[in-house]
């Protein structure tokens, strides 16, 4: 069995979809469905069983997992960058990951986990995923710190070359619909355009960047899945890797691509950024991808932003059922 934690969430459910595309259905999904619409991500997928995350943790701690595990793909976490409960993030994101990693390592089971580009903080330390530079990073929110904690644990215990960690940058695509305020700007822009005919973006407060000229590394979830599938099939490819396109694009580029995909003339309104955000706002993120592509040898080619946005808008957001389907 392949265990996918967070398997009802955005990237987790998308990876289950990718496994289904390869004819794989021996999958156990571990998650907590709660009261939002995350369960809808599961409807079109094929898998063997679902286990609540707390029940699975008890199985791991008691060493009574009732099936053979060939790999754990650990995407489960609280992904809200605005979550303020530090104890919850410590337990749910750091300690849970550490427990699964230790169990997997003891048994020689493939372990792939989600880190985050949020570990890079304000970006002043750069965006290098070189292991020697990870310990100098200073996340600016507790979510980023909870991810950094496990990266540091892996390095301290010298297991970083026995597992694969993925620092996801700005991922967008189908199956993110349940994420409320944490959905991608593409998802939000699509609905703003449908409702008002325009999109609102924050103004820039640095002369170096024009309004809407702030830069992010936007990466399509389908490209992320290709990388994850490659890591899954190459157990010798270990380490903590960035996962972005390696090319930053502006918010203006992103929004123009959404308008173009919808066949509507671009209409952007620039608004004031709340004072509370101005001192921690990131004006630039860009994944350094040489470690994954050259050192590890991952052959994945990333789609142009405009093509990815068009696929997401036309083939998902504009459909009655926008979820990824195993059929």
Express each pLDDT in 287-321 by its tens digit. 999 999 999 999 989 999 999 999 999 999 999 99
Whether 143 sits among the annotated catalytic residues: the reply is yes
pLDDT number for residue 97: 98
- Phi, psi dihedrals of residue 194, rounded to the nearest 5°: -65, -35
Contacts of 238 (CB under 8 A, 6+ apart): 160, 161, 162, 163, 164
Under the banding of pLDDT at 50, 70 and 90, the label for residue 215 is very high
The overall average pLDDT reported for the chain is: 96
Under the banding of pLDDT at 50, 70 and 90, the label for residue 82 is confident
As a whole number of Å, the CA-based R_g of the chain is: 19
Nearest of 46, 84, 15 to residue 232 by alpha carbon: 15
Question: Which H or E element spans position 170?
Answer: strand 170-172
Pick the catalytic residue from 94, 96, 143, 316.
143
pLDDT over 90 (residue 234):
yes
Q: Which pair of structure tokens corresponds to residue 84?
A: 């303020």
Q: How far apart are the first and last CA of the chain?
A: 21
Rounded Cα–Cα distance for residues 260 and 262 (Å): 5
pLDDT over 80 (residue 275):
yes
Across residues 242-260, what is the average pLDDT?
98
User: 2.30.30.90, 3.40.50.720, 2.60.40.1180, 3.40.640.10: which CATH number matches 2-173+217-247+285-302?
Assistant: 3.40.50.720
**What would you measure as the largest C-alpha separation in the chain, in angstroms?**
59
Express each pLDDT in 21-40 by its tens digit. 999 999 999 999 999 999 99
Percent of the chain surpassing pLDDT 70: 100
What is the SS3 string spanning 88-103? HHHHHHHHHHHHHHHH
Pick the catalytic residue from 53, 98, 179, 198.
179
CB 193 within 8 Å of CB 187: no
β-pair partners for 74: 5, 113
pLDDT number for residue 46: 98
Under the banding of pLDDT at 50, 70 and 90, the label for residue 278 is confident
pLDDT over 90 (residue 281):
no
* Residue in this structure with the two tokens 């156990």, named with its chain if needed: 28
Whether 294 sits among the annotated catalytic residues: the reply is no
pLDDT number for residue 81: 85
Under the banding of pLDDT at 50, 70 and 90, the label for residue 138 is very high
């Amino acid at each position: 069995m392949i265990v996918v934690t967070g398997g009802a969430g955005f990237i987790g459910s998308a990876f289950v979809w990718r496994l289904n595309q390869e004819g794989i259905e021996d999958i156990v999904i571990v998650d907590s469905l709660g009261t939002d619409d995350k369960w809808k991500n599961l409807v079109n997928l094929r898998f063997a069983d679902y286990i609540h995350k707390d029940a699975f943790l008890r199985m791991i701690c008691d060493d009574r997992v009732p099936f053979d595990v060939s790999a754990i793909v650990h995407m489960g976490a609280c992904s809200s960058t605005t979550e303020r409960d530090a104890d919850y993030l410590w337990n749910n994101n750091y300690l849970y990951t550490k427990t699964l990693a230790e169990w997997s390592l003891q048994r020689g089971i493939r372990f792939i986990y989600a880190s985050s580009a949020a570990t890079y903080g304000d970006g002043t330390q750069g965006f290098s995923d070189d292991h020697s530079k990870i310990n100098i990073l200073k996340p600016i929110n507790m979510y980023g710190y909870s991810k950094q904690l496990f990266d540091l644990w892996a390095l301290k215990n010298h297991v970083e070359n026995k597992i694969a960690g993925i620092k996801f940058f700005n991922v967008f695509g189908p199956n993110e619909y349940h994420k409320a305020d944490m959905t991608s700007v593409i998802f939000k822009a699509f609905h703003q355009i449908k409702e008002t005919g325009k999109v609102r973006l924050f103004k820039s407060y640095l002369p170096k960047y024009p309004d809407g000229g702030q830069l992010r590394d936007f990466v399509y979830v389908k490209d992320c899945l290709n990388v994850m599938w490659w890591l899954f099939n190459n157990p010798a490819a270990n380490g903590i890797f960035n996962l972005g396109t390696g090319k930053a694009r502006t918010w203006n580029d992103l929004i123009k691509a959404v308008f173009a995909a919808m066949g509507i003339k671009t209409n952007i309104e620039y608004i004031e950024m709340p004072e509370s955000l101005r001192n921690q706002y990131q004006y630039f993120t860009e994944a350094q991808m040489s470690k994954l592509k050259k050192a590890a040898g991952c052959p994945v080619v990333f789609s142009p932003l405009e093509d990815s946005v068009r696929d997401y808008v036309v083939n998902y957001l504009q459909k009655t059922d926008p979820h990824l389907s195993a059929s």
